[in-house]
Structures are given as structure tokens and as C-alpha cells.
Amino acid sequence: MIVVKKSLGQRINTISHKTNIPKITVERVIKEYLESLKASIEAGEDIVLDGVVSMKSYVDEETEEIIIRSRASAALKGKINKKAFKLEE
């Protein structure tokens, strides 16, 4: 199995190409979205990206650091496991 890690810039280019939306617009929307996720985490809000991941944050009482726990969705895990199983056949 080949794993390819894409940078944010590569993902922006891909989305722009597939949707025929200008790259600068895609970049602005994605960066604003990521900033909103960051603000939510800093505010102690839970985040759920349906079908992808859920994140919960809390403040460590001793260090006062924000701790983030995340879990991949069951749907995503199932899709990945099905693909891996098909590759092995």
C-alpha cells in the first residue's frame, strides 16, 4: 500500500481544479475554516467532522495546557479496513 501525504497547498490545488473555483477562494475558505476549528478548541468546544473525526479538548488542571483527544469515526475506519482487506485479496 502506498501512502501519499498531501500538503495543504496540494489539497487546495486539487479542490480548486475539481470544483473550478479559483485557488485563492478555496484557500481563503479552508484557512478560515481551520481558524474556526482552532478557536473552537481554544474555547473548550468539542468538534465533530462527520464521517472523519471527533475532537474533544480539556484543560489540564496542573499545567493549564489544552489537551486534545481525537478519534477517527467508525464510518471512516470501516471504509479504510474494507479497502485494506480488498488489497490483501
Question: Average pLDDT of each block of 10 consecutive residues along the chain (89 residues)?
Answer: 74 96 96 93 88 88 89 85 62
* pLDDT on residue 2: 55
d(CA 10, CA 20): 15
* pLDDT on residue 3: 60
The backbone torsions φ and ψ at residue 47, rounded to the nearest 5 degrees and listed phi first, read: -125, 135
* pLDDT on residue 11: 92
For 29-57, b/e burial (b = at least 16 CB within 10 A) is eeeeeeeeeeeebeeeeebeeeeeeebeb
The CATH code of the domain at 8-88 is: 4.10.520.10
**E strands of 1-89, at which residues?**
47-49, 53-59, 66-72
